[in-house]
């Protein structure tokens, strides 16, 4: 029935379409609700002859209702506390969330990252680097610890000859990928975690000139390493990719969180540039995509963040 | 404890600046005059002198010093006149350009400064050298030295007193295992020394001694010619000095079990704790500690 379909739709996607839920479910009689339980797919027939909520669905619903609250809380937070908590959460979630740590460490300014480190002391009584070093075990550990410890110089000055020789070091690391994964290569880690961003832009420009292709297109490059490079030199396209993945159908719980995280953390920084990049890459304006995929108060909140000042 | 002496009646800043200016005038330089002023002013006074000198004569005092003084003397005066963060940045930069013995300087700055001071040094480094400290350290060191020094200079250690004994025990075990296998450049070993808070490291080093019998420095003495091992041992020594420990232990245990601690201290070090306190502290701080240790009458 049309109403059940509309209800199901109100619960799917990012957030909950509260108005639809109120108007349909709120106005429903017992027999409507029974029909919903029988047809909705959120319930299962219990052995004792009643339609029982599927526990898994209740959990999913909980997350969808919480999306708005999480976005609001994250938005009101001081950026330092926000980044510290995001890193802590990523550490708890495990290796699949390592990219969040890379994202925060690499896209913030030196002082913003420093602020996150200070807030982390207050919130968790440990330093970020000690927690990252003790909780991460794979090949990416060295790079991650180094990235969160950086306090990069932020001036524009670049030494082209140094950039060129560092590009060559990267090329050599990639050539040697069979013997050692480039993400564990000391020179790769040193260059990516200590050099300034303008310097790195130059390094990767030389890389392309000498090797003939972009570093990110090299086959044997660890995903985390690719993410780090993108975050450091082309953050807007990195963010628009995260957004797109978050809004894809069938995205998992953690990937979906990218929508809130990127909007909230970049709304004051470069959301317009990210938006432009998104439209160039995915042929649809970011706001339109959010309009289509998100629901209710959550959707309104995100769109409002984006439209501020227009 | 500080050794600086400042005159009871300090001349005005303007007077100091005039005198310094006079010291540079003419053919030679009046080094004695420079010493008599700068060596007897504290950091705040020196900072004010430097500012006023610049305002009055349009030139950084350090530039005048650079022009007029030579070698060791100049170096001492110059370093003394810089503020602590600039000083650390200058020393660190110098260390990255020289050869092996300067790794010690980098380690010392990284390990003996507070988190805030190390950070300020990194900021001063940006301002003065238009680069980050870590990129220079990374570029100018290699191998095991880089593995140890980079994490040390980029650390922003938690500074609280909280200590997790279970963690201290397990990390002491890791350290012992790696050292026994002569894996002195092991990732975990370096991770522990470079990221844990100083309080936590001290707890770990204490556990090390309790469980394995030796002080960790003794176990790091294997090869006198190994410069990396040397540096590692010095790192542990620098990190293991916990100045706040005395205050912390005495004040938190005086009403609990300080007597037991005193006895244990005497047993381990063959010297009463009271005597060690008298030797190492002074003034009202010493009096307070001794009182809490049960010395003298109520």
Residues of A with Cβ-Cβ distance to B159 under 8 angstroms? 121
Give alpha helix (H) positions in chain B.
13-24, 31-38, 43-57, 61-68, 71-81, 84-97, 103-112, 115-129, 133-140, 143-154, 165-180, 187-195, 198-212, 216-219, 227-239, 244-253, 258-269, 273-280, 283-292
A11 is an annotated ligand-binding site residue? yes
Question: Which residues make beta-bridge pairs with A51?
Answer: A45
Q: Is A193 on the interface with B (CB under 8 A)?
A: yes
Q: Is the pLDDT of residue B163 over 60?
A: yes
- Minimum mean pLDDT range among A43-57, B85-99, B120-134, B168-182: B85-99
Query: SS3 for A53?
Result: strand
pLDDT at position A207, please?
Answer: 96
CB contact under 8 A, B150 and A127: no
Across the interface, which of A118, A134, A155 has its CB nearest the CB of B130?
A155
Q: Is the pLDDT of residue B280 over 70?
A: yes
Domain locations in chain B as residue ranges: 13-81, 84-154, 165-240, 245-292
Q: Give the architecture (CATH level 2) of B84-154.
A: Orthogonal Bundle (1.10)
A250 is an annotated ligand-binding site residue? yes
pLDDT at position A184, please?
Answer: 93
Across the interface, which of A149, A155, A157 has its CB nearest the CB of B151?
A149
Residue range B132-144: average pLDDT?
93
Across the interface, which of A152, A153, A186 has its CB nearest the CB of B146?
A186
Q: Is the pLDDT of residue B253 over 80?
A: no
CB contact under 8 A, B195 and A127: yes
Q: How confident is the model at residue B214 (pLDDT cuts 50, 70, 90)?
A: confident
User: Is B75 within 8 Å of B87 (Cβ atoms)?
Assistant: no
A8-to-A36, A42, A61, A66, B194 alpha-carbon distances in Å = 9, 9, 11, 18, 53
User: Is A267 within 8 Å of A260 (Cβ atoms)?
Assistant: no
CB contact under 8 A, A153 and B160: no
Residues 281-300 of A with CB under 8 A from B: none
A89 is an annotated ligand-binding site residue? no
Which position has the higher pLDDT, B196 or B82? Answer: B196
Q: Is B15 on the interface with A (CB under 8 A)?
A: no
- Minimum mean pLDDT range among A41-45, A279-283, B23-27, B103-107: B23-27
Residue range B201-218: average pLDDT?
91
Residues of A with Cβ-Cβ distance to B162 under 8 angstroms? 125
Contacts of B200 (CB under 8 A, 6+ apart): B162, B163, B164, B167, B168
Residue A212 C-alpha from the chain's centroid: 30
Across the interface, which of A149, A152, A154 has its CB nearest the CB of B155?
A149
User: Is A262 within 8 Å of A253 (Cβ atoms)?
Assistant: no
CB contact under 8 A, A190 and B155: no
pLDDT at position B99, please?
Answer: 60
Residues 75-134 of B with CB under 8 A from A: 119, 122-123, 126, 130-134
Distance from the A194 Cα atom to the nearest Cα atom in chain B, whole angstroms = 5
Q: Is A133 on the interface with B (CB under 8 A)?
A: yes
Q: Is the pLDDT of residue B1 over 60?
A: no
How is residue A14 annotated by DSSP? B
Fold: same for B84-154 and B165-240 = yes
CB contact under 8 A, A121 and B159: yes
The CATH superfamily label for domain B13-81 reads Annexin (1.10.220.10)
Residues of B with Cβ-Cβ distance to A126 under 8 angstroms? 158, 197
pLDDT at position A16, please?
Answer: 95
- pLDDT above 70 covers what percent of chain B? 92
CB contact under 8 A, A134 and B155: no
Q: Is the pLDDT of residue B100 over 60?
A: no
Q: Is B157 on the interface with A (CB under 8 A)?
A: yes
Residue B262 C-alpha from the chain's centroid: 28
The count of other CB atoms within 10 Å of the CB of residue B2 is: 5
Q: Is B147 on the interface with A (CB under 8 A)?
A: yes
- Minimum mean pLDDT range among A7-11, A141-145, B23-27, B284-288: B23-27
pLDDT at position A40, please?
Answer: 74
A138 is an annotated ligand-binding site residue? no
Query: SS3 for A44?
Result: strand
Report which secondary-structure segment, H or E, holds B156. none
Residue B5, token pair as written in the block: 């002496």
Residues 169-208 of B with CB under 8 A from A: 187, 191, 194-197
B195-to-A51, A85, A128, A186, B37 alpha-carbon distances in Å = 54, 19, 9, 19, 41
Residue A47 C-alpha from the chain's centroid: 42
Most confident of the ranges A125-134, B42-51, B81-90: A125-134
Instruction: For chain A, list residues with pLDDT below 50.
Output: none
Note the CATH number of domain B245-292: 1.10.220.10
CB contact under 8 A, B119 and A151: yes
Q: How confident is the model at residue B70 (pLDDT cuts 50, 70, 90)?
A: low
Q: Is A155 on the interface with B (CB under 8 A)?
A: yes
ipTM passes above 0.90: no
pLDDT at position A29, please?
Answer: 93
How is residue A217 annotated by DSSP? G
The CATH superfamily label for domain B165-240 reads Annexin (1.10.220.10)
Q: How confident is the model at residue B5 (pLDDT cuts 50, 70, 90)?
A: confident
Q: Is B164 on the interface with A (CB under 8 A)?
A: no
Q: Is the pLDDT of residue B251 over 60?
A: yes
Locate the chain A residue with the closest alpha carbon to B199. A126
Question: Which residues make beta-bridge pairs with A44?
Answer: A52
User: Is B81 within 8 Å of B42 (Cβ atoms)?
Assistant: no
């Amino acid at each position: 029935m049309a109403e059940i379909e509309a209800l199901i739709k109100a619960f799917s996607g990012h957030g909950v379409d509260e108005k639809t839920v109120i108007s349909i479910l709120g106005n429903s009689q017992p027999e409507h609700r029974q029909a919903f339980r029988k047809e909705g797919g959120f319930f299962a027939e219990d052995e004792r002859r009643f339609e029982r909520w599927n526990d898994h669905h209740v959990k999913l619903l909980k997350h969808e209702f919480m999306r708005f609250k999480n976005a609001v809380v994250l938005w009101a937070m001081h950026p330092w506390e926000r980044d510290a908590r995001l890193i802590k959460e990523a550490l708890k979630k495990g290796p699949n969330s390592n990219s969040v740590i890379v994202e925060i460490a690499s896209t913030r300014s030196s002082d913003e990252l420093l602020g996150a480190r200070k807030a982390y002391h207050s919130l968790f009584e440990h330093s970020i680097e000690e927690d990252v070093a003790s909780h991460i075990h794979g090949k990416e550990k060295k790079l991650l610890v180094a990235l969160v410890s950086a306090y990069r110089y932020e001036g524009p000055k670049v030494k082209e000859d140094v950039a060129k020789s560092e590009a060559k070091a990267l090329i050599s690391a990639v050539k040697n990928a069979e013997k050692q994964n480039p993400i564990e290569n000391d020179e790769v880690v040193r260059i990516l975690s200590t050099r300034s961003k303008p310097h790195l832009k130059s390094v990767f420009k030389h890389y392309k000139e000498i090797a003939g292709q972009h570093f990110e297109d090299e086959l044997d490059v660890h995903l985390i390493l690719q993410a780090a490079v993108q975050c450091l030199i082309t953050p807007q396209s990195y963010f628009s990719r995260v957004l797109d993945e978050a809004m894809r159908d069938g995205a998992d719980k953690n990937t979906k969180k990218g929508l809130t995280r990127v909007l909230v953390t970049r709304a004051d920084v470069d959301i317009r540039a990210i938006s432009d990049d998104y439209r160039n890459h995915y042929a649809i304006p970011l706001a339109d995509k959010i309009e289509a995929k998100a629901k209710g108060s959550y959707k309104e909140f995100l769109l409002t963040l984006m439209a501020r000042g227009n | 404890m500080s050794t600086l002496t400042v005159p009871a009646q300090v001349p005005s800043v303007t007077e100091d600046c005039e005198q310094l200016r006079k010291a540079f005038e003419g053919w030679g330089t009046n080094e004695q005059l420079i010493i008599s002023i700068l060596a007897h002013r504290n950091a705040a006074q020196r900072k004010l002198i430097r500012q006023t000198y610049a305002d009055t004569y349009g030139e950084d005092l350090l530039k005048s010093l650079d022009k007029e003084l030579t070698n060791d003397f100049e170096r001492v005066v110059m370093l003394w006149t810089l503020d602590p963060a600039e000083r650390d940045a200058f020393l660190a930069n110098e260390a990255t350009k020289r050869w092996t013995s300067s790794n010690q300087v980098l380690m010392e700055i990284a390990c003996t400064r507070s988190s805030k001071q190390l950070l300020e040094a990194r900021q001063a480094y940006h301002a003065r050298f238009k680069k980050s400290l870590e990129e220079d350290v990374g570029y100018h060191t290699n191998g095991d030295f880089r593995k140890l020094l980079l994490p040390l200079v980029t650390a922003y250690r938690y500074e609280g007193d909280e200590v997790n004994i279970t963690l201290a025990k397990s990390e002491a075990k890791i350290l012992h295992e790696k050292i026994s296998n002569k894996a002195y450049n092991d990732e975990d070993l370096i991770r522990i020394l470079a990221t844990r808070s100083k309080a936590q490291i001290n707890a770990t080093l204490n556990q090390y001694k309790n469980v394995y019998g030796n002080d960790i420095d003794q176990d790091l003495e294997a090869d006198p010619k190994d410069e990396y091992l040397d540096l590692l041992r010095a790192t542990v020594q620098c990190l293991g000095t916990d100045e706040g420990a005395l205050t912390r232990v005495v004040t938190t245990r005086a009403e609990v079990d300080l007597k037991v601690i005193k006895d244990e201290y005497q047993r381990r070090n063959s010297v009463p704790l009271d005597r060690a306190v008298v030797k190492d502290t002074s003034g009202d701080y010493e009096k307070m500690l001794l009182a809490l240790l049960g010395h003298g009458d109520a």
